[in-house]
Amino acid sequence: MLQDEKQAEPQVIKAVCVLHPTEGNDVKGIVTFTESSTGVVTVIADLEGLTPGKHGFHIHQYGDCTKPDGTSAGGHFNPEHKDHGGPTDMDRHVGDLGNIEAGEDGTAHIELTDTMLKLNGASSIIGRGIIVHAGEDDLTSQPTGAAGARVACGVIGIADPNS
């Protein structure tokens, strides 16, 4: 191999985020992302410690959960500078995943597929943050869906594709 030839970076096909509670909250969980050969990303999330009902669920600009309230994660990941919307809207932030709904026991499970999320390239979600909010995302209010305080924060990292 010539010295100036670069080896191709391996393609990321699986990512994971461990969610930790923000100050004064008990929400925690795991979110996995798996990208298919066709570019569709499957998102699976399991959370606990939530209040019953719907909670905004978004990918945020920064993978930074250092502030106790989670605000260091910045706003929604929005590389195409679009308005906030629902997860099935064509015009929305890439990070707009809608809501996750907790039962009376405070647990929530969601499985969804998304064609806007990418694990590779310039708009990759690797290294970005995930925020779970105290309230429901109304899917229309700008710029965030009026979902309230941040109750959990985590950073998306590359996962072992065989795990």
From the list 76, 92, 128, 137, the catalytic residue is: 76
From the list 58, 92, 128, 137, the catalytic residue is: 58
Q: Is 109 a catalytic residue?
A: no
From the list 96, 114, 128, 137, the catalytic residue is: 96
From the list 55, 92, 128, 150, the catalytic residue is: 150
From the list 60, 92, 128, 137, the catalytic residue is: 60
Q: Is 60 a catalytic residue?
A: yes
From the list 55, 92, 93, 128, the catalytic residue is: 93
Q: Is 76 a catalytic residue?
A: yes
Q: Is 93 a catalytic residue?
A: yes
Please spell the DSSP secondary structure of the chain, one letter per residue: --TTPPPPPPPP-EEEEEEEEPTT---EEEEEEEE-TTS-EEEEEEEESPPSEEEEEEEES-----STTSGGG-SB--TT-PPP--TT-SSS-TTEEEEEEE-TTS-EEEEEEESS--SSSTT--TT-EEEEESS---S-STTT-S--SEEEEEEEEE--TT-
From the list 55, 92, 128, 133, the catalytic residue is: 133
Positions marked active-site: 58, 60, 76, 84, 93, 96, 133, 150
